[in-house]
Amino acid sequence: MEDRDKQLGFVIEHVKKIKSGTKTTTLRTLGSTKEFRVGDILNVNHGAEDFRLKITKIGTKKLYALTDEDARKEGFRSIDELMEAWETTYRKNWNPDYVVRIIEFEKIEG
């Protein structure tokens, strides 16, 4: 693994969306990704699914500021659908003032 390679976990539903190209961002808590930088390579290993992503952009937003476009980049049809997935994945209520890190990526070969 190179110096800029990092590990990042995804649930299987999100792995499928990444592989199909419908998920090009991930929302993460601030503390869990503070060492991530643009240009870093993310190694994604989920059973037989093994691939790499390159971080192309990193930003932050409060949950209330997320849009339907943000939701679509996450692989969802709407902000409501994203909200439901957030609560299921993180087992936390959707707190509008909570700040998240938005990591944009592209799938790379090799």
Query: 12-41 pLDDT, tens per residue?
Result: 888 899 999 999 999 988 887 888 999 999
Where in the chain does DSSP place strands (E)? 5-7, 25-29, 41-46, 49-62, 99-108
60 beta partners: 101
Q: What is the CATH number of the domain that holds 10?
A: 3.10.400.10
6 beta partners: 42
pLDDT at 4: 66
Q: What DSSP state is assigned to residue 35?
A: T
Which pLDDT tens digit goes with each residue over 68-87?
999 999 999 999 999 898 88
HSE-CB at 88 with a 13 A cutoff on CA atoms is 8
How many of the other CB atoms lie within 10 Å of CB of 104?
A: 16
When divided into structural domains, the chain yields a total of 1
Give the domain extent around 15: 5-108
Q: Is residue 65 helix, strand or coil? A: helix
